[in-house]
Structure 1
Amino acid sequence: MVESTQQPTFENVLEAAKFLNGKINRTHMDSSETIGKKFGGLVYYKLENLQKTGSFKIRGALFKVSKLTSEERKAGVIAVSAGNHAQGVALASRISGINCKIVMPKYTTPAKISAVERYGAQVDLFGSDYAEARDHALKLSAEENRTFIEGFNDRWIIAGQGTIGLEIMEDIPDADMVIVPVGGGGLISGIAMAAKEINPNITVIGVQSENYDSVRASVEEGSIVEHVTGETIADGIAIRRPGELTLSMIQKYVDRIITVSDETIALALYHLLEHNKILVEPAGAAGLAAILGEKIEISGKKVVVVLSGGNINLLLLSKIIYKSLEHESRLIRIGFKIPDRPGTLYRIASAISEAGGNIYHAEVDNLDESTPIGFQSITFTVNVRGSKHAAELLEKVKSVGYKFDVLE
């Protein structure tokens, strides 16, 4: 194979764009009047959540596979991933007529396994974490003579992702800033290099989870360090360490790396869904989270936020919606201990209804040790219009005459 450890050139990105034309989606931009007005800038979203396989990964994977020699194509490829990279490599291999094996950790969800298998790849479940799965994949690569497809630390992968930078500059040539989610750094390396080749004055900012911020720490340290302090819902950017290639490009082309909390990521994801009708995964919402969390000043600027993917676990999505409604005081939980006799529950439910509340969920727990004999413990989860409406509803409920607690 042509050397993969060298830094890609702008010409490589142009070559990738020409190769990928017609093979992938040329994703469009969407603007956000709500965020623009709130923070005083012009905000655009680059919709890679609408890319084939649901993320940007197909760009780099398809271009990488195109660089295989005829011998390497016959031997097949192998990759390790529990998410978007797996799907990108699987589809790229199917399009290119190449045998593909994907090693996934044993904890990988059935939905993600099925998605990879639908693209025609063979799935090998191995290991309790990513590191064990990667070691196994490298072992199989040597034994079966398969080409190992890196997730981010590869010249052709980075060049493929860099085509997003070209499209951004074509669509918004006077953009002042691009905000990009960062895991291992392949996406931001390609975008930053391409964008700055066209406009050296553009600002490129990377966003990591505050619990998985090895790129930020590595830039600060001047060498690769691993920095993980907890878990994150943004599994798409939960990478323990960047690559040598991506770190060197980030140091050269990226202006700043910042971090955001899971709570802000969840609110950003919810905002995109409610206000723009755009569904992204947590990693894809990291850029907007940086704006909502006021980590980046965008007043008077034209800003492009890269929404890198949309492959979200639906159970996680339901939790995010629930918590976001609570955060906005649009969902309240009211706990009662009421006399266990006919009509009591009806009177409370009627009061909630008359106040304009919608009972989302009701739960009775008569086994709670704190519940007196002859009483019931019941918790209502009620959908309201906001904090003012919540206060009005609680006053109405008080009029029924039973004590209650507003639960956190």
Structure 2
Amino acid sequence: MTTTLADVLAAADLLAGVASRTPVESSRALSEIAGVPVLLKCENLQRAGSFKIRGAYVRMARLSDDERAHGVVAASAGNHAQGVALAARLLGIEAVVFMPVDAALPKIAATREYGAHVELVGSSVDEALVHARAYAQRTGAALIHPFDHPDVVAGQGTIALEIVEQVPDVATVIVPVGGGGLAAGIVATLAELRPQVRVVGVQAAKAAAYPASLAAGHPVKAPELRTMADGIAIGLPGEVPFEVLAHAHAEVRTVSEEDLSRALLLVAERAKLLVEPSGAAAVAALMAAPGDFEGPVVAILSGGNIDPQVLLRVVRHGLASAGRFLWLHLRIADSPGALAGLLRDLAATGANVMHVSHVRTQGELAVDEVAIEVQVETKGPDHCAAVQHALRVAGYRLTD
């Protein structure tokens, strides 16, 4: 492998006093779901809000004085940007970071607050990388790649050193995968330190390049990048991490957007931890196939930098996926009191009305009826079914 245990141990020495030793928290809720002990490695509590400071600092600490004088440049959707900006501040290096134009505002603001100059370009990390490479060629700045460098992979691998110390009997480690730097660091470390530990990588199904790449034996571009998990929305695996993961015959599976939102919601509700969608990917895989993993399982929460507006949308999506939001489409008589009667009947079921839409002008409506869309908050799937049954018994016509 391009990264060895010796490389990771050397990276750990560099990170002493820089990266936090993040806690491992047991989760009773996830343990009950999986049927085995489940623990959460809380890199969302790391400095700058994600694991990225580890790899970024190791890479930048090894630059020569001449390289440091020319500054550094990076491309990121946000977490690597903050890691690079913080590392640059600690090392006294000028940093420029290219970020997608739709990057989360809190991530942009935090990157600037750490002292980096931010340029917003393109619609993805891959496009931002093109601009970062061009800037590096133009100015002589060192490109600090988010995942495709041995020093970065070694830095991320220091998480595995901590896991082995904190959970000596760990049997499975589940790790989010974007470009692959984090997973490669974990795999390379455990391959020498605990070869019996199973490592499972997780990608968002709508931004998954690794399954096809590993099957083909070389990096293959993802067919789409349409996921709420912007932190792992990478179009093409890095050569360095791909070599590590391919050599180890790594296992990488995918999760849906519904899986991600349910996982984020559970982590917030039951573990009292705030993570971003990409940070919840490992938990999403566990929840989607709870019987697939031997315990103890350590799920890595890779980051907690989430835009509050995105959090609001994802929580709502998670509530709907968990059966706690219900969208009702009905037709009722266009007469005084009909809508009030519907709301009274809903109240009697214990459902909480969140939003009502009242439409008279749809072409398929009869002259004496109106279309109603009601969003209600429920207590779960069984309550959803009970609400619909009660409305049908009361004579309402539900359409889908």
Query: Scaled by the length of structure 2, what TM-score is found?
Result: 0.91
Given that residues 206 and 254 in structure 1 are in contact (C-alpha distance below 8 angstroms), is that contact kept between their aligned partners in structure 2? no
Taking a change above 3 Å as real, the CA distance of residues 106 and 328 of structure 1, as seen in their structure-2 partners, is: closer
Given that residues 200 and 252 in structure 2 are in contact (C-alpha distance below 8 angstroms), is that contact kept between their aligned partners in structure 1? yes
Once residues 61 and 320 of structure 1 are traced to their aligned partners in structure 2, the CA distance between those partners, rounded to angstroms, is 29
Aligned to 2:199: 204
- State yes or no: 1:20 paired with 2:15: yes
Once residues 185 and 381 of structure 1 are traced to their aligned partners in structure 2, the CA distance between those partners, rounded to angstroms, is 40
Aligned to 1:368: 362
Aligned to 1:289: 284
Once residues 177 and 99 of structure 1 are traced to their aligned partners in structure 2, the CA distance between those partners, rounded to angstroms, is 40
User: Which one of the candidate residues 339, 348, 352 is aligned to 2:346?
Assistant: 352
| Paired amino acid for 1:15 | A
Aligned to 2:397: 404
Q: Secondary structure at the match of 1:281?
A: coil
Given that residues 258 and 295 in structure 1 are in contact (C-alpha distance below 8 angstroms), is that contact kept between their aligned partners in structure 2? no
User: Which one of the candidate residues 352, 361, 376 is aligned to 1:382?
Assistant: 376
| Paired amino acid for 1:312 | I
Q: Greater shift after overlay, 101-110 or 366-375?
A: 366-375
User: Which one of the candidate residues 313, 319, 326 is aligned to 1:325?
Assistant: 319
Q: Secondary structure at the match of 2:207?
A: coil
User: Which one of the candidate residues 115, 118, 125 is aligned to 2:120?
Assistant: 125
| Paired amino acid for 2:373 | T
Once residues 212 and 349 of structure 2 are traced to their aligned partners in structure 1, the CA distance between those partners, rounded to angstroms, is 51
Once residues 168 and 262 of structure 2 are traced to their aligned partners in structure 1, the CA distance between those partners, rounded to angstroms, is 29
Aligned to 2:331: 337
User: Which one of the candidate residues 62, 77, 89 is aligned to 1:82?
Assistant: 77
Identity over aligned pairs, percent: 38
Q: Secondary structure at the match of 2:14?
A: helix
- Compute the displacement of 1:109 (Å): 4.1
Taking a change above 3 Å as real, the CA distance of residues 115 and 254 of structure 1, as seen in their structure-2 partners, is: farther
Once residues 395 and 231 of structure 1 are traced to their aligned partners in structure 2, the CA distance between those partners, rounded to angstroms, is 36
Aligned to 1:158: 153
Once residues 371 and 142 of structure 1 are traced to their aligned partners in structure 2, the CA distance between those partners, rounded to angstroms, is 63
Taking a change above 3 Å as real, the CA distance of residues 179 and 363 of structure 1, as seen in their structure-2 partners, is: same
Once residues 304 and 344 of structure 2 are traced to their aligned partners in structure 1, the CA distance between those partners, rounded to angstroms, is 40
- Compute the displacement of 1:296 (Å): 6.5
- State yes or no: 1:46 paired with 2:41: yes
Residues matched between the structures, number: 400
Aligned to 1:186: 181
Taking a change above 3 Å as real, the CA distance of residues 349 and 170 of structure 1, as seen in their structure-2 partners, is: same
- Compute the displacement of 1:205 (Å): 1.6
Q: Secondary structure at the match of 1:208?
A: strand
Q: Secondary structure at the match of 2:353?
A: strand
The alignment's C-alpha RMSD in Å is 2.4
Once residues 134 and 318 of structure 2 are traced to their aligned partners in structure 1, the CA distance between those partners, rounded to angstroms, is 44
- State yes or no: 1:235 paired with 2:259: no
- Compute the displacement of 1:58 (Å): 0.8
Once residues 290 and 111 of structure 1 are traced to their aligned partners in structure 2, the CA distance between those partners, rounded to angstroms, is 27
Q: Secondary structure at the match of 1:233?
A: coil
Aligned to 1:3: none
Aligned to 2:303: 309
- Compute the displacement of 1:132 (Å): 3.8
Deviations 1:265-295 (A, max 9, x none): 2222222222222222222222122222228
Alignment of 1:125-144 (within 5 A): 125-144=120-139
Once residues 351 and 21 of structure 1 are traced to their aligned partners in structure 2, the CA distance between those partners, rounded to angstroms, is 62
Alignment of 1:157-176 (within 5 A): 157-176=152-171
Gaps of 5+ in 1: 1-5
Aligned to 2:140: 145
Once residues 80 and 45 of structure 1 are traced to their aligned partners in structure 2, the CA distance between those partners, rounded to angstroms, is 28
Once residues 187 and 338 of structure 1 are traced to their aligned partners in structure 2, the CA distance between those partners, rounded to angstroms, is 55
Once residues 324 and 105 of structure 1 are traced to their aligned partners in structure 2, the CA distance between those partners, rounded to angstroms, is 26
Aligned to 1:216: 211
Taking a change above 3 Å as real, the CA distance of residues 136 and 390 of structure 1, as seen in their structure-2 partners, is: closer
Given that residues 333 and 406 in structure 1 are in contact (C-alpha distance below 8 angstroms), is that contact kept between their aligned partners in structure 2? no
- Compute the displacement of 1:321 (Å): 2.5
Taking a change above 3 Å as real, the CA distance of residues 157 and 108 of structure 1, as seen in their structure-2 partners, is: same
User: Which one of the candidate residues 95, 102, 108 is aligned to 2:90?
Assistant: 95
Gaps of 5+ in 2: none
Once residues 33 and 148 of structure 1 are traced to their aligned partners in structure 2, the CA distance between those partners, rounded to angstroms, is 42
Given that residues 334 and 404 in structure 1 are in contact (C-alpha distance below 8 angstroms), is that contact kept between their aligned partners in structure 2? no
Once residues 256 and 110 of structure 1 are traced to their aligned partners in structure 2, the CA distance between those partners, rounded to angstroms, is 34
Once residues 382 and 235 of structure 2 are traced to their aligned partners in structure 1, the CA distance between those partners, rounded to angstroms, is 44
Q: Greater shift after overlay, 321-330 or 21-30?
A: 321-330
Given that residues 148 and 238 in structure 2 are in contact (C-alpha distance below 8 angstroms), is that contact kept between their aligned partners in structure 1? yes
Q: Greater shift after overlay, 188-197 or 206-215?
A: 206-215
Once residues 116 and 105 of structure 2 are traced to their aligned partners in structure 1, the CA distance between those partners, rounded to angstroms, is 15
Given that residues 224 and 243 in structure 1 are in contact (C-alpha distance below 8 angstroms), is that contact kept between their aligned partners in structure 2? yes
Q: Greater shift after overlay, 302-311 or 242-251?
A: 242-251
Once residues 394 and 212 of structure 1 are traced to their aligned partners in structure 2, the CA distance between those partners, rounded to angstroms, is 35
- Compute the displacement of 1:375 (Å): 4.2
Q: Greater shift after overlay, 203-212 or 61-70?
A: 203-212
Once residues 127 and 384 of structure 2 are traced to their aligned partners in structure 1, the CA distance between those partners, rounded to angstroms, is 50
Query: Scaled by the length of structure 1, what TM-score is found?
Result: 0.90
- Compute the displacement of 1:234 (Å): 2.0
Given that residues 45 and 306 in structure 1 are in contact (C-alpha distance below 8 angstroms), is that contact kept between their aligned partners in structure 2? yes
Once residues 198 and 381 of structure 2 are traced to their aligned partners in structure 1, the CA distance between those partners, rounded to angstroms, is 38
Given that residues 192 and 254 in structure 1 are in contact (C-alpha distance below 8 angstroms), is that contact kept between their aligned partners in structure 2? no
Taking a change above 3 Å as real, the CA distance of residues 295 and 343 of structure 1, as seen in their structure-2 partners, is: closer
